[in-house]
Amino acid sequence: MARIPRITNQQILEAARQIFLQQGFGASTLEIAQKAGISEASIFKRFSTKEELFFAAMGIPEKPLWVNELESLCGKGNLKENLINICLQIMEFYREVLPRVMMLRSRGNALPELGGKEPRPLRDVKVLTAFLECEINQDRLRSCDPHTVAHILLGSLMNYVFLEQMSSQVSMLTAELPIGTYLNSGDSATEISVFVLSLVDIVWQGIAPSQDSIGSGNYFPLPSKD
């Protein structure tokens, strides 16, 4: 008797992603199972709840990789370089997740209830705030409001991705090219790196330890006024 091919988690998530993007969170898990070629019960053997399946399919983990790394960085290494690397990771995360969320919103499709949890952006602000506060307590940053700094960094990164997504949609209408053509281009990656470096450099001038002179070690020195 021929062995039935084993369906991988990735195949299930791909089927779920397609159905959820079309129908939102209200989509039937039975329809997802049929598209993946498995039984509905098999889905719940691998994903405990429909919410877990949805967030996994949308690529929205409970704890993104950048959060895991951030928790291990307090008090270690070059702080400015750490902030640059973390911001690049946050940008990459938002560029992957935000277009899918915007697509669901634009189609009026429902998202799952958070069950009392704070929205993802607010949790991200708290995580980054706690990191900055830890660095302030170790005198690696000057005394400042870490919550405000976290809002400036995360808000700027999310706004960049939002505007990029909007520009990509306009380009798609005029050029009729897939969105991936714009989001994954080499030029875009270079622009992102320059933006993140500039953003952190500007913020750093206001939060650097007091012994650091303004402009010292800048990646983008300010032009002379002479």
pTM (2 d.p.): 0.72
36 and 147 fall within a common domain: no
**φ, ψ for residue 103 (rounded to 5)?**
-65, -45
Amino acid 1: pLDDT: 44
**Residue 4 host element (H or E):** none
Task: Specify if 40 maps to a domain.
Answer: yes
- Residue 192 CA to residue 161 CA, distance in Å, equals 9
Could you report the average pLDDT of every consecutive run of 10 residues in the chain (226 residues)? 67 92 88 93 91 87 86 92 95 86 71 70 93 95 96 95 75 41 54 94 93 44 42
Residue 25 sits in the same domain as residue 65: no
Rounded Cα gap, residues 56 and 8, in angstroms? 14
Same domain, 70 and 135: yes
Neighbour tally for 226: CB within 10 Å: 3
Q: In terms of domains, do 116 and 169 share one?
A: yes
First to last CA, the chain: 84
Are 19 and 39 within one domain? yes
Q: What is the pLDDT of residue 226?
A: 45
**Residue 117 and residue 22 share a domain:** no
Tell me the CATH number at 103: 1.10.357
User: Domain total for the chain?
Assistant: 2
Same domain, 114 and 15: no
- For residue 161, is it within any domain? yes
Rg of the chain in Å (alpha carbons)? 21
Structural domain boundaries enclosing 192: 59-207
- Residue-level pLDDT at 87: 96
Give the pLDDT confidence score for residue 186 in this predicted structure.
46
CA distance 8 to 13: 9
